[in-house]
Structure 1
Amino acid sequence: MHVPDGFIDAPISAATGVVAAAAVAVSLRGARRELDERTAPLAGLVAAFIFAVQMLNFPVAAGTSGHLLGGALAAILVGPYTGVLCVSVVLLMQGVLFADGGLTALGVNITDMAVVTTVVAYAVFRGLVKVLPRRRSSITAASFVAAVLSVPAAAVAFTLIYAVGGTTDVSIGKVATAMIGVHVLIGIGEAAITALTVGAVVAVRPDLVYGARGLQQKLQLRVDGQLVDVPAAETTPVAARSHRKVWITGLVASLVLAGFVSFYASADPDGLEKVAADKGIDARTEEHATADSPLADYGVKDVENARLSGGLAGVIGVGVTVVAGSTVFWAVRRRRSADTTPVSTGV
């Protein structure tokens, strides 16, 4: 659902840019509360994993494909504020390095794909977790539903943005129907990927999943006819429980997906591209500002072998994204530490 340059006029592109900048600023502050010794080391990895999985377009209908948006996955794994930042980092890397998503439309893409999906998904997720039984399967189920709903929500948001800032005169009703219809199908794929990923992490390290915090229930025993809480067993400090294995496993998975599996992804246009072509809203699409980038269209310039070119581009993308994301989240985490460090009075 990467919106290219030319779909949305300059005033609305600028307005969504302001909205996106404000959302990122708020998220930077909010992420200070979310990023701790559990989530900070993994946030950059989550961004890299989303980048990798977004390369895996899957068929959803005749001549149409879809890909992960990632807002639900990021919000549940590392928190909603950090989730907005994760997807924003991915969109920035894609736009600048891979000519995917217009640079003048970056505000539209962040607002739609990072902010809307994350806010909707996390709101649905938290609502479901409050009413479902407190067990791991509930986290997976809530993740599925949240992800399903986040994708058509993004389709609705794009349609509203296009209604006020579209550059072609088309029937908004027809655009809305087509966008929501195809993105409901894409949402099912998004939900499957999100639920499988969240479920896998919850199964081995529930302490690393932001959305699973507070999942554990106190064990109670009946003593003399009354229920008594069993004292919690001493746990190993979080810092002593290495995240290295999870981090390495996630990075290797991301590299394999982007560097190898992506070659087998569907070549059909994604939901937005298909609707744009069918309804004529792509009539004024502009050439991307970085169309001559060495990595444009997810291939390495001058590498003739398509498999090798795409694989190298994917590996480079994962590497750049994990470094950029980790740098951002390390800086945010360091700022939180500085804010919470007691100031000596010298007395």
Structure 2
Amino acid sequence: MHVPDGFINAPVSAAAGVVAAGAVALALRGARRELGGTATGGQGHGGERTAPLAGLVAAFIFAVQMLNFPVAAGTSGHLLGGALAAILVGPYTGVLCVAVVLLMQGVLFADGGLTALGVNITVMGVVTVVVAYGLFRGLVLVLPRTRRSVTVASFVAALVSVPAAATVFTAIYALGGTTDVPIGKVLTAMVGVHVLIGIGEAVITMLTVGAVIAVRPDLVYGARGLTTPLKLRVDGELVDAAPTATAPATGTATPAAAPAVRSSRKLWITGVGTALVLAGFVSFYASASPDGLEKVAADKGIDAEVKPHAAADSPLADYGVRDVSDARLSGGLAGVIGVGATLAVGTGAFWIVRRRGTGRTTPAPAPATASTSASAGKAV
């Protein structure tokens, strides 16, 4: 659903840019809390592990967006990623993940207009995250507190988020479209095809969330609270057991935390490897049919004023490497470069956000004294 230059007029594009900039600024403030916090309550959702996971999520979304899947005769779809990012790393960080992906696609690969970047961030980033995460949290509250409920909720949230984004795009086009077309027909066509695309989005989101929950549920933002924290009786009061991430004196990992650290590293390596394989190899077999927006634009005539992309001369334009004649090699190299660039930019940006956020977090409680340590052994 990457909107190119020329679909939306300049005033509405500028207004969408202001909305997107405000949303990103708000997301930066919220992401400082999501990325900068330390593990509490035994949940282990600390910023030291969430920041690299957020960079990985951005790279994974970039890779999977290269895998267009057929949804109807002559039409394809691809992951938008807002629901997936919000559930894995939090809604604020999720907006930033999608924004990083869209920025890299627009600048390096001429995918999505630069003047339409605000529209794309608003539609593909903000709308999908807000709709998906709001619906996801509502479902999690009413469903049983199980991992299966999280995966079911992620499926429904992702499914609904895609036609919601299509609806908002149609509203923006009604305000600033550059061609005179019946908006009712555009809305019907956009929602209809994007419901089908939403099914693919839902399956990808559910499988990915389920895979991460299976190995590290503590790293899934939307799965917080599934595990009841260990309770200790200290001086007659029940308190949450303090996390054992580091030893107070040396700052080194304790033996209890070592498996989690190794598991996080294994998850990160597996995720990066999967993204590289998807972008560098599997993408060659993706559907070549136009995606939902492109198909509707061609059928309804809303692409009459489309403009050449400002980065059309990029050496990576259209997801190929210039001067590499072999299509498979060219596309594969472009995909690998895109994953690497998105991972580097995303991880770097999230580490900066996390470091700025750590100064605002509540200090960890002091280590228990000998007397409290003795009574802490009476766990219930």
Interval of TM-score (by shorter of Structure 1 and Structure 2): over 0.9
Please list the CA deviations of residues 207-255 of structure 1 after superposition, one character each: whole Å capped at 9, or x if unmatched: 00000000124799xxxxxxxxx99888653863212111000000000
Letter matched to residue 22 of structure 2: A
Match of 2:122 in 1: 111
Q: Equivalent of 1:205, from 213, 216, 233?
A: 216
Deviation above 3 Å: which 4+ runs of structure 1? 217-220, 230-236, 339-342
Question: Residue type of the partner of 1:102?
Answer: G
Measure the CA separation in 2 of the matches of 1:120 and 1:216.
26
Query: Does 2:329 match 1:329?
Result: no
Q: Which residue of 1 aligns with 2:30?
A: 30
Contact 2:229 2:241 in 1 (8 A): no
What TM-score does the superposition give when structure 1 sets the normalisation length?
0.93
Match of 1:345 in 2: none
2:245 paired residue number:
237
Paired position in structure 2 for 1:281: 302
Match of 1:306 among 327, 338, 350: 327
CA contact (8 A) 1:38 1:207 kept: no
TM-score, reference length from structure 2: 0.85
Task: State whether residues 67 and 190 of structure 1, in contact with CA within 8 Å, keep that contact through their aligned partners in structure 2.
Answer: yes
Answer whether contact 1:134 1:217 (CA < 8 A) is retained: no
Which of these residues, 244, 247, 267, is aligned with residue 288 of structure 2?
267
Q: 1:108 to 1:304 in 2, by over 3 A?
A: same
Q: Give the structure with higher Rg (CA).
A: 2
Aligned to 2:53: 42
- What one-letter code is carried by the residue in structure 1 that aligns with 2:285? Y
AA aligned to 1:4 is P
Kindly provide the CA deviation profile for residues 298-334 of structure 1, in whole angstroms up to 9, marking residues without a partner as x.
0000000000000000000000000000111000000
| Aligned 8 A contact 1:121 1:146 in 2 | yes
Paired residue type of 1:176: L
- What is the match of residue 372 of structure 2? none
1:9 aligns with 2:9: yes
The answer on 1:154 being equivalent to 2:165 is: yes
Aligned partners of 2:20 and 2:330: how far apart in 1? 33
Query: 1:209 and 1:24 mapped to 2: Cα distance?
Result: 22
Check the 8 A contact 1:84/1:114 in 2, yes or no.
yes
Letter in 2 for 1:26: L
Amino acid at match of 1:237: A
Q: Give unpaired runs (5+ residues) of structure 1.
A: 221-229, 343-347
Identical columns (%): 79
Contact 2:230 2:241 in 1 (8 A): no
User: How far off is 1:340 after superposition?
Assistant: 3.9
Q: CA deviation at 1:41?
A: 1.8
Distance 2:187 2:9 in 1: 19
Contact 1:147 1:187 in 2 (8 A): yes
RMSD over aligned CA atoms reads 1.9
Match among 175, 182, 201 for residue 186 of structure 2? 175
Deviation at 1:92, TM superposition (A): 0.1
2: CA distance, partners of 1:46 / 1:108: 22
Name structure 2 gaps, 5 residues minimum: 36-46, 232-237, 247-252, 364-380
Query: Which residue in 2 is equivalent to 1:315?
Result: 336
- How many residues get paired? 334
